[in-house]
Amino acid sequence: MRVVYILKKSALTFLMGVIAVILISPLVITFTNSLMTELEIEINYGLIGQMNEATPGRDDSFANLKLIPDKVSLAQYGKVFIDNPKYLSMFWNSVFMVVPIIAGQTLVAALAAYAFSKLKFRGRDPMFLVYVMTMLMPFQVTLVPNYIMVDKLGMLNTTGAIIYPGIFAAFGVFMLRQFMLDIPYAYIEAAKMDGAGHLRIFMTMIVPMIKPGLAALVILLFVDYWNMVEQPLVFLDDPFKQPLSVFLSSIHDSERGIAFAASFLYMAPMVMLFLYVESYFIEGIQLSGVKG
């Protein structure tokens, strides 16, 4: 029996290792290809989508996915940072949009989740149900009403058209409420007996208990809004106000080297943020799965 258990464990470990390699390979390939020279990138990817005219019916399109460059070069990064200042401009556009959304939605979601989970008032549960229903609607359904509202408020073609709807999205409230429901109400009653108000209870008791949930929420929000494309295209007419995600989708096929370098730099903030809060994120996802 022990031999069978060891074999099953080894097989599972091997399978998980293979899956991990498959999932991380795009990131590795993007980074290593960003260090190649423009000539090497052209040799490896130049025939993609081309058909050999001399032999009809034969497709010679290919991609030579190399992990190790023949010659390490930082020329592609030089083109991104120096020759193409539009990249840095759009990078900071993304930062100035995403950071306020994450900070604002985390604060609003935590306070609203506390109210929906620990405060008792009439109509609490029906109100929460209606609030969460907005989360179930796809972006395309609410696109026209949001556009009309933004236009009436005079925020069209401004970053506020992206930031304010993101701050008051329902996902964070729903997620953090799941964490707070598991906190015994007796803790709050004991704190009230000691003279603590709701603000003090929230800051000194609730927030430390939901740190894993906050970390998981920050990661999920960052990935979601860092990759947004539809909202900027609809609400922002000025191309100089567009985020980096829109810039990457407009890179031409002839700029494959720049695409690799820009894509890796685009992924780097998400990877670093995940590594920084990895333990909290994993714990938060596990707890949300148990409580959900």
According to the model, what pLDDT value does residue 280 have? 66
Query: pLDDT digit string (tens) for 77-95?
Result: 888 888 777 788 888 999 9
- pLDDT band of residue 283 (cuts 50, 70, 90) is low
- pLDDT band of residue 104 (cuts 50, 70, 90) is very high
Please identify, in words, the CATH class of the domain defined by 84-250.
Answer: mainly alpha
According to the model, what pLDDT value does residue 163 have? 92
CA–CA gap between residue 259 and residue 30 (Å, rounded): 9
Contact residues for 214 (Cβ-Cβ < 8 A; gap 6+): 106, 110, 176, 207, 280, 284
- pLDDT band of residue 97 (cuts 50, 70, 90) is very high
As a whole number, mean pLDDT of residues 172-182 equals 87
Domains of the chain by residue range: 1-51+61-76, 84-250
Cα-based angle 193, 197, 203 (whole degrees, multiple of 5): 115
- pLDDT band of residue 74 (cuts 50, 70, 90) is confident
CA–CA gap between residue 214 and residue 208 (Å, rounded): 10
As a whole number, mean pLDDT of residues 256-270 equals 82
Q: How far apart are the first and last CA of the chain?
A: 36
Residues in the chain: 292
According to the model, what pLDDT value does residue 197 have? 85
As a whole number, mean pLDDT of residues 149-173 equals 89
- pLDDT band of residue 98 (cuts 50, 70, 90) is very high
According to the model, what pLDDT value does residue 85 have? 76
pTM value > 0.85: no
According to the model, what pLDDT value does residue 31 have? 86
What tokens were used for 81?
Answer: 């940072």
According to the model, what pLDDT value does residue 107 have? 94
According to the model, what pLDDT value does residue 61 have? 53
**Range picked from 101-105, 186-190, 198-202 for highest mean pLDDT:** 101-105
Residue 12 has pLDDT above 50, yes or no: yes
- For the chain, give the DSSP string: -HHHHHHHHHHHHHHHHHHHHHHHHHHHHHHHHHTS-HHHHHHHHTTTT---TTSTT---------SS-SS---HHHHIIIII-HHHHHHHHHHHHHHHHHHHHHHHHHHHHHHHHHH---TTHHHHHHHHHHHHHS-HHHHHHHHHHHHHHTT-TTSTHHHHHHHHT-SHHHHHHHHHHTTS-HHHHHHHHHTT--HHHHIIIIIHHHTHHHHHHHHHHHHHHHHT--HHHHHH---GGG--HHHHHHT--GGGHHHHHHHHHHHHHHHHHHHHHTHHHHHHHHHHHHHH-
- pLDDT band of residue 109 (cuts 50, 70, 90) is very high
Contact residues for 235 (Cβ-Cβ < 8 A; gap 6+): 147, 150, 156, 157, 161, 162
* Gyration radius of the chain's alpha carbons: 24
